[in-house]
A and B are shown apart, each in its own frame.
Chain A
């Protein structure tokens, strides 16, 4: 070997991820928006941006875990809806189960949905997108069992978890997201589960050959996703003050866009939470920008679909899938 040893480090490897580019894009976007709209850089608006992305951010935390392992979870929206409506029913007058129990039940529901998804995907061997599309429909249907109750949330504690601003500016929900992302980053980096997850995403067959319990780890990743979906459900009823069966509808698209834009590779094995966080801010800024610019509601739907397509096209080009000959 005549050539000198190339030196690598964690930092250099990070520079080769899409995250630095994302940071650049975000800075440019901020500049553009603040130049074109004087409402953009107001505290009021920024508070809004941050508080609005709470639900998507929490959902993205879980979906990233699943996608790093090479999976997909489209059922998060209806899982959040289910956890939300059940919790709000349990909090209703006349039932009034103590709040800690409600939280535990909501989280158990989320984890159970994740477990079901994971079991079907690993043990039966169905494509994760098809599986979670199916469970998406099923659990959305379950939400409608309680549709007629129209439960409102009067519990002050529950109301506060999604609405408090620290120091009157910084939304507590953003703190949740930061905590979740940091904890998960540490789990990715420093636990066997985390490393094995990246290995599975990189090459599942080889991971199996290396004796890694692939099925168990994948199931756990879906349970984690369900867990975060349940928390997102609780935030939804907290912020909106009631439980409605349609809560979380369509969230999977937005979250998928965020996670893929954040540099999590479709098919797994690569991605980091810093990228996801910046993607979250980019997407929310765009959404917010459309509101400020009075873009019609329905057109926003088109923009969101187009963004998803654009983002996955970039993912395909970045990973050179467009060069595939067949």
Chain B
């Protein structure tokens, strides 16, 4: 159906033409054009860092494009801010949760656009509650509109986000990984809603890196790679091999270079660990191994690794490192136990952006910069220079502010910090998020270099092809609990997703 409409020019609702956006150190979007027709679902597909999020943030008025044009209903339209984008009927569900925790469900759904009763122009609470109830019923979820958002679970919050986006008459609905926190059932109700909206003529942009969903719901797919558009296909006329090839731009084996590394004895053992966000988790990690942790948003995977690193207070359970029981109470204790953490959000948690490359590389080991209380500058330059060279951080100098480096190079700086620290167990939380394809491959290679040298790695990833290709073993979490463990040879996308919803 969607395919037929491509020829019908009259119903083109949106055209983004030659959009370019440059961030310090990286061209996030390079001359990308997309078009969107009434009543179709356009999938946008791309690896982490391909530019999907940037594109929709421009459409939502969240970023201002550097060049290019946007046409809505055939008319040129300058989007200067979120309010204008919303006024022209664009609704966005972001990847990050955007609920306001001190307000109720109903208020969150109508945030910024409360229902107003004339003639006094007062907020119509009854009407809002009623309409919120209806929306939630359509979504097939049982939630009290008067509940305070802060009390809800991540997946419930996600549902509220979706209800918010469909609460107003939208012309264009953009969904950035809307199912990241949803169970299979919830995903199916979402698809039902999308189909209903479609029949009403709403155009939907659907972003996901789960191929299964793309095939199930979209009419056409636009593939992005490294900020460039690779092409647009009718979904029916494509298959997953073709799409993956377009996304990756090379053979899948080159994308995920997996080497055989001999796996040694157990280096870390976690027994019945409990802390805020997860319950009673046990697993072990062996020398030279890459252990994958998979789970939906809100499954407790980040809380778990934070607890291993001393950044989430452990309530119960034991951690053994090389057979010795260890109470990790702070990141400095984790560091001293030779554990390193490459966190989820490197800008907020991993780097001091306004400082230089060398300061960031030595950040975890300031005490080792010289014998006295003074910093031995020459030693610091040497240490930083060594890592820049060894893992190939592309920077004009070690004095360069990390702010101006590309995502991939920033990630390498974070990694270099833990290499400098001599970490034997490195925890990586979504290591390739916002990183371009070239740097991704380098990061995979680096991870395996480390394993060859005898380190062990714990990797959280929600990108299925990545975790299935790079990890040796995968444990799956759901709602803060352990659900299943897979050897990578036994694991499949379907299997992981099923276990993640248990």
Contact = CB atoms under 8 A, between A and B. Distances in A.
Given A195-B114, A211-B82, A13 B102 contact: no
A77 B101 CA distance: 33
A5 interface: yes
A212 B112 contact: yes
A191 B147 CA distance: 20
Interface string A3-47: 011111110010000000000000000000000000000000000
B83 A192 contact: no
A270 B101 CA distance: 10
A206 B100 contact: yes
A213 B113 CA distance: 12
Nearest to A201: B102
A325 interface: yes
Contact of B123 (A190, A202, A210): A190
B102 A270 contact: yes
B144 A5 contact: yes
Contacts of A203: 100-101
A214 to B, nearest CB: 10
B494 to A, nearest CB: 22
B116 interface: yes
B98 A206 contact: yes
Given A199-B100, A201-B102, A210 B112 contact: yes
A189 interface: yes
Nearest to B83: A211
Interface string A182-213: 00000001111011101101110011111111
Contacts of B147: 6, 8
Contacts of A269: 100, 102
B417 to A, nearest CB: 17
B267 to A, nearest CB: 26
Contact of A209 (B62, B123, B148): B62
Interface string B109-136: 0011110100001110100000000000
A1 interface: yes
Nearest to B155: A1
Contacts of A191: 121-123
A191 B116 CA distance: 8
Interface residues of B, number: 36
Contacts of B107: 195, 199
Contact of A7 (B102, B123, B144, B151): B144
Contacts of B102: 198, 201-202, 269-270
B146 interface: yes
B502 interface: no
Contacts of A201: 102
B259 interface: no
Max chain A C-beta neighbours (<10 A), residue from B60, B125, B147, B311: B147
Nearest to B150: A202
Interface string B290-305: 0000000000000000
Contact of B148 (A13, A194, A210): A13
Contacts of B376: none
Interface in B127-177: 141-144, 146-148, 151
Interface string B95-109: 000111111100100
A208 B57 CA distance: 13
Given A5-B142, A8-B146, A8-B148, A208 B114 contact: no
A198 B86 CA distance: 21
Given A209-B82, A210-B111, A1 B100 contact: no
Nearest to A7: B144
A32 to B, nearest CB: 34
A202 B99 CA distance: 10
B143 A199 contact: no
Contacts of B144: 5-8
A199 B385 CA distance: 47
Given A191-B122, A206-B100, A209-B82, A199 B146 contact: no
A202 B98 CA distance: 11
A190 B85 CA distance: 26
A207 B147 CA distance: 19
A192 B123 contact: yes
Nearest to A211: B83
B432 to A, nearest CB: 26
Contact of B122 (A4, A190, A198, A210): A190
A13 B143 contact: no
A210 B114 CA distance: 12
Nearest to A270: B102
Nearest to A5: B142
Interface in B64-101: 81-83, 85-87, 94, 98-101
Contacts of B142: 1, 4-5
B159 to A, nearest CB: 9
B83 A9 contact: no
Contacts of A9: 146
B328 to A, nearest CB: 13
A270 B116 CA distance: 22
Nearest to A190: B122
A10 B148 CA distance: 10
Given A209-B62, A270-B102, A196 B146 contact: no
B236 to A, nearest CB: 34
A8 B142 CA distance: 13
A271 to B, nearest CB: 10
Interface string A313-326: 00000000000010
Nearest to B149: A202
Contacts of A10: 146
A210 B112 CA distance: 6
Contacts of B113: 211
A207 B81 CA distance: 12
Given A5-B144, A8-B147, A195 B123 contact: yes
A242 to B, nearest CB: 42
Contact of B112 (A1, A6, A199): A199
Given A8-B148, A199-B111, A213 B143 contact: no
Nearest to A13: B148
Interface in A291-325: 325
A207 B113 CA distance: 11
A53 B102 CA distance: 30
B284 to A, nearest CB: 27
Contacts of B86: 210-211
A13 B123 contact: no
Given A206-B100, A208-B82, 7 more contacts: A4-B142, A8-B104, A8-B148, A191-B122, A206-B98, A207-B112, A211-B85
Q: Sorted from nearest, which 4 A-B pairs have the closest CB atoms? A: A211-B83, A210-B112, A190-B122, A269-B102
Interface of B: 60, 62, 81-83, 85-87, 94, 98-104, 107, 111-114, 116, 121-123, 125, 141-144, 146-148, 151, 311, 330
5 contacts: A195-B107, A206-B111, A210-B86, A211-B85, A213-B83
Interface of A: 1, 4-10, 13, 189-192, 194-196, 198-199, 201-203, 206-213, 269-270, 325
